[in-house]
Structure 1
Amino acid sequence: MKNRNLARLIVVAIVLGIALGGLLHAQLDAESAKTVAGYLGLVTDVFLRLIKMVIAPLVLATLIAGVASMSDSGAVGRIGFKAITWFLLASIVSLSIGLVLANLFQPGVGLNLVHLETVSATQVGLNTGGFNLPTFLTHVFPRSIIEAMGNNEVLQIVVFSLFFGSALAFVKGRGKSSIMEMLEELAQVMFRITDYVMFIAPLAVFAAIAATITVHGLGMVGSFGKLIVQFYLGLALLWALIAGVAFLALGQRAKRLLRLMREPVLLAFSTASSEAAYPKTIAALDTFGSPKRINSFVLPLGYSFNLDGSMMYQAFIVLFIAQAYNIDMSFSHQIMVLLTLLVISKGTAGVARGSLVVLAAGLPMIGLPEAGLLLVLAVDPILDMGRTATNVLGCGVAAAVIGDGADGDPEVEPVGTQQPA
């Protein structure tokens, strides 16, 4: 299926999903709506399972091959340093935009809520029990690569791949290694499987949108319209900033990159899953001409640490909750919020509903009631779509810009040496 046709079909699926969901919500009672949405959700669940089936072997194959191709270990260090620097700066900028816009728009002002009830994270379906620094640090390192792949623990797969790739580079330096050929062939097989899975992507998108609207209805957009519009204006500003950085770094080639990123971004938006967009993001970067070894190294790290949309969401919602409860937050308090979110958000790699978990863990730290989570749970599916699409766009641009900056590195193949897929 050609990329342009798939993108168009996804847009059509979104429109049809909204129409069907609105119709079902109007005709069904609450219990029946949940039942029908559950059946619709089966299609999306199957699609996401098939995508997750591809991700672990794809990350493993591409990342090991990429690291092994950098025979100079210093090249890995230089690229890793550039990536971490980018991720840190991007996180600070995204958090800052969220804080500035929340102060400007004042989305929670006027709600005048009183903090009487006590609501814990577990009461709203969020598990923060293992959300602490020691647990995160030990969780980064896999006990078994089989277990890591079985659970789609991308960060653990990255750690194993770094070790394996470095060892393979040493062995390869002593003579020809057939493992590299096997890894490259495995990656190509995974891309082909992705093409097969993508045939049902429009159907999965249709089902996902229809299921959400069937349960919540279009009315939730009206009830939380102010918050949704202001949040998406913030995302638009963040997108403009990301695109601006791409043009500064890549020149007019940024137009082609953004055009290629359209399909994975649409997939991420409509399914609210960055995993669903991962194979297509890798393919888009390869088609753009970004070095494969850079893509396979930077993108998995970005999926764990470079979550631009989630960063902005967390800062924006924290101030929304404070305003809703009439809790005044001074400038110094907001700086503390920024630093707190900057640190704890890096522990959400592989955590289900990571952005909400960060909020659940962070609200008590900064003196805000956890009951504020109830304000955003109903509308979170709509916000999640936007922040997930932004995460994917940010990761794709980061990989392309870092890959372009590697042109002068003798250990990295230059941009543009690959043939479009």
Structure 2
Amino acid sequence: MAHLSADTSAATPGKKGFLGIGFTGWIIISMIAGILVGWLAPDFAPNLKPFANIFLRMIKSLIVPLLFSTLVVGIAGHGDDMKKVGKLALRSIIYFEVVTTLALAIGLIAVNVVKPGVGLSISAAADSEEFKALAAKTPTFGSVLEHTVPQSFFEAAAQNEVLQIVFFAIIFAVALAKVEGPSKKFMLDWLQSLSDIMFKFVGIVMTYAPIGIGAAIGVTVGKSGLDVMINLAKLVGTLYVSLIIFVVVVLLPIAMLAKLDLKRFWALVKEPWLIAFTTASSEAAFPQAMQAMEKFGVPRRIVSFVLPTGYSFNLDGSTLYLAIASVFVAQAAGIDMPIGTQLLMMLTLMLTSKGVAAVPRASLVILSGALAQFGLPLEGIAIILGVDAIMDMARTSVNLLGNCLATAVMARWEGVLETPKDGADVVVPA
């Protein structure tokens, strides 16, 4: 179990793909085609939605078996020292909290400097009841803790509840590590075989990715239109620039402090990053991200623990977005919020956003709850909805980038990061 192959040739399309164009090239072509279709034929664009949904459904179908098998093998295969798991969990949580706090700070500073909401006026929306319903769904700290524990593994698997699957897999792996004899060997061999098969499954699904991605972005542009983005360009621009600043000021120094090979890191992460950006779905990029980090030299036991956990606790892009969007609504409503109130709102967002992965329309739910709690008009969400899909692409891709970096940093912190040459096997320390 000490040597896990990092061969991703079956899962990552080769550099010389169809018509001599590589995988990244086809994604870019599909993006351009989708934008053109959405812009020039907005009435036709909704017909592309089934093609986008097929891609997302295929991705969702493989997440649970891939995640469960790799995480259990990663922990139980090295179960001689369970302290490693606890130490990794503690370090990961500390890292997640520090980085997401910095994301909130950058978002808060940006929205107060640029003031994208000033000059806009909020009028009562006819469907404001919908926003009140969203606010009512906001999770509490207790509900997030309770939701982490599955009452049924099969129910959690059917709903793709990643955090619940991680919780169950960790306990299952610890129990398996305590078993001796043929039962343990059989289960580990079976799960390792399942993991190997699922990585090949990813390769098959990824051949369809450009079609699904092109369809997804075509639907987004056709629905939102370019005019809406122009009208709220200041808000969208504030988010995009803030995310770039976050990457340069926070993520880049962290990568440099960890002494990561930045060129190699980006070369491996750019494809899952593009998938996350174009589909606005972290799940769509999850399998590719796992393979990229394993190829980068991160042991599978760390990849399969840190990456999915980060999807719930390390949403850098989403937390930065929430900081900007919440104060934006106050500005658009002409409400003067003292800095003390803003900081209290940021603390609330930091806590409630930890349940973001478990809630449909997650960011809007968290935002609605924060607005309701601080007496801000829920109708402000009606303004944001016009460009939310465009902003979702940016925040989701930064979530993905931040979690990939967290995975590599944890491996470095644990002293187990290897950086083999392309095509070489990754040696995973026991």
Question: How high is the TM-score relative to the length of structure 2?
Answer: 0.89
1:377 aligned partner = 385
Deviation of 1:215 after TM superposition, in Å, equals 2.2
1:350 Cα offset (Å)? 2.2
Q: After alignment, is 364-373 or 117-126 more displaced?
A: 117-126
Task: Give the conservation status (yes or no) of the 8 Å contact 2:135–2:372.
Answer: no
Task: Give CA deviations for 1:8-60 in whole Å, capped at 9, x if unaligned.
Answer: 111111111111111103xxxxxxx2xx3332010010000000000011110
Structure-1 separation of matches of 2:219 and 2:125:
31
SS, match of residue 160 in structure 2: coil
- Residue in 1 that maps onto 2:254: 245
Contact 1:65-1:180 within 8 A present in 2 as well: yes
Equivalent residue, structure 2, for 1:275: 283
When residues 218 and 339 of structure 1 are mapped into structure 2, their CA distance, relative to the original with a 3 A threshold, is same
Query: 1:121 touches 1:128 (CA, 8 Å); kept in 2?
Result: no
Describe how 1:303-318 pairs up with structure 2 within 5 A: 303-318=311-326
Asked if structure 1 preserves the Cα contact closer than 8 Å seen for 2:281 and 2:396, the reply is yes
Q: What is the aligned counterpart of 2:69 among 61, 68, 85?
A: 61
Aligned counterparts, 1:383-402, within 5 A: 383-402=391-410
Structure 1 residues 338 and 171: alpha-carbon distance in aligned structure 2, compared to 1, 3 A threshold:
same
Q: How does 1:256-295 map to 2 (within 5 A)?
A: 256-295=264-303
Matches within 5 A, 1:220-231: 220-231=228-239
Q: Which secondary structure does the structure 1 equivalent of 2:236 belong to?
A: helix
**1:65-84, aligned counterparts within 5 Å?**
65-68=73-76, 69-84=78-93
Once structures 1 and 2 are overlaid, which stretch shifts more, 177-186 or 308-317?
177-186
The correspondence of residues 316-355 of structure 1 with structure 2, limited to 5 A, is 316-355=324-363
Match of 1:28 in 2: none
Tell me how far apart the structure 2 counterparts of residues 414 and 134 of structure 1 sit (CA, whole Å). Answer: 36
SS of residue matched to 1:352: coil
Report the residue type matching 1:2 in the other structure. G
Q: CA deviation at 1:132?
A: 3.1
For 1:363 and 1:273, how far apart are their aligned partners in 2?
A: 25
Q: Distance in 2 between matches of 1:352 and 1:113?
A: 25
What is the letter of the counterpart of residue 15 of structure 1? I
Offset of residue 121 of structure 1? 5.8
Partners of 2:276 and 2:132 in 1: how far apart? 24
18 and 38 in structure 1: CA distance in 2 versus 1, 3 angstrom threshold: closer
Give me the whole-angstrom Cα distance separating, in 2, the residues matched to 1:40 and 1:176.
47
In structure 1, distance between residues paired with 2:40 and 2:313: 39
Identity score, percent: 39
Report the TM-score, using the length of structure 1 for normalisation.
0.91
Query: Residues 158 and 232 (structure 1 numbering): CA distance in 2 closer, same or farther, change over 3 Å?
Result: same
Give 2:221's match in structure 1, choosing from 213, 218, 237.
Answer: 213
**Residue 154 of structure 2, aligned match among 146, 156, 161:** 146
Give the 3 Å change call, closer, same or farther, for CA 24–98 of structure 1 in structure 2. same
Q: In the superposition, relative to structure 1, how do residues 104 and 89 fare at CA in structure 2: closer, same or farther (>3 Å)?
A: same
CA RMSD of aligned residues (A): 2.1
Matched AA of 2:257:
L
Unaligned 5+ residue runs, structure 1? Answer: 26-32, 408-412
Amino acid in structure 2 at the alignment position of 1:89: V
Q: Output the CA distance in 1 between the equivalents of 2:131 and 2:376.
A: 17
Give 1:364 shift. Answer: 1.2
In structure 2, what is the Cα distance between the partners aligned to 1:359 and 1:9?
A: 35
Contact 1:3 1:263 in 2 (8 A): no
Q: Check the 8 A contact 2:62/2:202 in 1, yes or no.
A: yes
What secondary structure does 1:250 align onto? coil
Measure, in 1, the Cα distance between the counterparts of 2:319 and 2:310: 13
How far 1:137 sits from its partner (Å)?
A: 2.5
